[in-house]
A and B are shown apart, each in its own frame.
Chain A
Amino acid sequence: MKRLLMFAIVPLFMFAACAKAPTEQVTAAEKAVIDARTAGAPKYAPEEFAKLESALTNAKNEVAEQDVKFGFLRDYEKAEQVLTTTQADATRVSEETAKRKEHAKAAAMQAQQAAQAAVTTAQDLVAKAPVGKDRAALEAIKADVDGLATSLPDIQKTLDTEDYQAAQVKAKAVQDKSQAASAELERALAKVHKAKPIKKT
């Protein structure tokens, strides 16, 4: 009887030892997804990142389901396939995120330069603005242009935090307002030139 039991139990232990949970693969896939998150994937590649998270959850659930099965019935093959694919996809998403982030950074820096140029133009016009005419309006525009110049460092601070979207939005606002101030100053200058008496020869 004992011999019979031995013949039954030993193979069972052998089968149980065959199906090993893909713990290392799970860890590697998790790390790859975390890396993608750290790289900014939720912001710059939201759809792809959502799919990554879904696939990782799927794989981990599959592993958990297999874990509760009796040893020789466990089959981690499908889970391993998903984990391998997820890890590869996460790396790809990280790379894509980096590209999109660089693109967003370039766009934000371009917007920053445009804002800077617009503020400089407005400051130059303020320097030429006629003094002693509508002084209150001139003082108001000067205050506006000073305020716009003061806001330029804030764009750089936002760039430094890598929030390129916000930096671009801020820069565009400064550019638009500076251009509006310049337009107002140009109108005032045109009025002055019109009012100047024409020299008779």
Chain B
Amino acid sequence: MILLALPGCIQKVPSDVVEAIESLDHQLIESQGAEYAPDAYGRFAKHWVALRRQLQAEEDEIVWPWETNPLLASLETVRAEGEEAVAQSLMRRDARRLETEARLAFLEGRMRTFNSRVDDMGGRVVLGGRPVETALLLHQARSFFDQGLYDRSIQVARQAAGMMEVQTAVLTTTLGHYADERRVHMWRRIAQQTIEWSRLHHTAAIVISKADRRLTVYRNGRQVLSYPVRLGYNGILEKRYQGDGATPEGQYHIIRKRDRGHTQFYRALVLNYPNSEDRRRFQQARHAGHIPADSFIGGQIEIHGGDDILMSQTLGCVMLENRHMDAIFREVESGTPVTIVGALRLTNSIALALAGLDQTEEG
């Protein structure tokens, strides 16, 4: 009878405490406690391992109900350590998550602004495949974040940030002259010379600003017409060879007027591109290996009409709406000077877009 009654009197270690501690151990593994709370986790793990050994060793020992179980206090201490470690781990993991999310959101916003500025300046083609490389990296960073792999997310996000710096450098190198005071001053000077020529000769002259995408007709030194234009698909670049999609810069003149029926582009004014300066630059660039050895200088640069709504750019020519082309056609003749410059103001759209590349979205 006494023997049968014994099990009910023997005090065992409360299983709910042991289960609670094992659950904390589990939570610490799930919350990556070793990474986010290494010291607290280390303390807990060391004490729990030792205590568990002790529990196993004293499993067969009898503790009478009137005796204090010495392991109880240790269990409660270990439980408290485990709770502290879990709280710390979760708090730090959350902080890491928020930090990673903020960084990603910042870069994604920056990429959107960056792409928008690049589109504004018409510089997308300049960048080649680099924008998609950046987009791929940010996509991967976001995927790692969604999987809770914050360190990997940050690592890849850094690569994306690096790619954006590379893109900025490419654009600055290729288009930085739009923000160069001396260059803009030179452009303004030759535009002014052209306007002055029209005043002295009491005749028409054309000035085209690529950054403004604007064609202006002067007569007797005064503006008489001004219209928006479409340029080559790589129009803002300096023309280097046939097929590069750039619109040339320089001082030209009209060599032929093509009326309706004589051109596929409604009406056209053929320019004397390439001039001697263009040929010199082309030879220099080919000799230096800056352009393909088998490239040609090209020709057939015109100011022309065309109401094809799907034609947003040309292959290098300057295009206007047909009604605007009609007005210009009436004003000019063979021999009319045509000066094409990059920009007429330092605060031109390309310079401003370049300056805004480092900005991010507001809010």
Contact = CB atoms under 8 A, between A and B. Distances in A.
B289 interface: no
A134 B143 contact: no
A135 B49 contact: no
A13 B234 CA distance: 94
A168 to B, nearest CB: 9
B122 A173 contact: no
Interface string B94-128: 00000000000000000000000000001011011
B139 A47 contact: no
B29 A46 contact: yes
A191 to B, nearest CB: 7
Q: How large is the interface on A (under 10, 10 to 19, 20 to 34, 35 or more residues)?
A: 35 or more
The B interface is mostly helix, strand or loop, or mixed, namely helix
B129 A136 contact: no
A47 B131 CA distance: 40
Given A47-B29, A133-B312, A136-B122, A173 B233 contact: no
A150 B130 CA distance: 11
B34 A137 contact: no
B245 A135 contact: yes
A58 interface: yes
B139 A176 contact: yes
B131 A78 contact: no
A26 B28 CA distance: 27
A174 B147 CA distance: 18
The A interface is mostly helix, strand or loop, or mixed, namely helix
A150 B129 contact: yes
Given A47-B26, A136-B122, A165-B147, 4 more contacts: A133-B312, A135-B313, A135-B315, A139-B245
B152 interface: yes
A27 interface: no
Q: How large is the interface on B (under 10, 10 to 19, 20 to 34, 35 or more residues)?
A: 35 or more
16 contacts: A61-B50, A78-B57, A133-B310, A133-B311, A136-B122, A136-B124, A136-B233, A143-B128, A144-B129, A144-B132, A146-B128, A147-B129, A147-B133, A169-B144, A173-B139, A195-B309
B112 to A, nearest CB: 14
Interface string A73-116: 00000100000000000000000000000000000000000000
A143 B245 contact: no
A166 interface: yes
B49 A54 contact: yes
A151 interface: yes
A170 interface: yes
A151 B143 CA distance: 17
Contacts of B312: 133-137
Contacts of A132: 311, 315
A192 interface: yes
Contacts of A150: 129
B136 interface: yes
B140 interface: yes
Contacts, number: 104
The 10 closest A-B pairs by CB, nearest first: A147-B129, A135-B233, A173-B139, A147-B132, A133-B310, A136-B233, A134-B312, A144-B132, A140-B124, A169-B143
A179 B64 CA distance: 72
B135 interface: yes
Contacts of B26: 47
A101 B127 CA distance: 39
B53 interface: yes
A51 B45 CA distance: 11
Contacts of B314: 135
Interface in A131-173: 132-140, 143-144, 146-148, 150-151, 165-166, 169-170, 172-173
A57 B49 contact: yes
A36 B312 CA distance: 61
Contacts of B30: 47
A54 B84 CA distance: 20
A174 B26 CA distance: 36
Given A140-B124, A140-B125, A50 B143 contact: no
B310 A151 contact: no
A186 interface: no
A22 interface: no
Contacts of B56: 78
B313 A134 contact: yes
Nearest to A131: B315
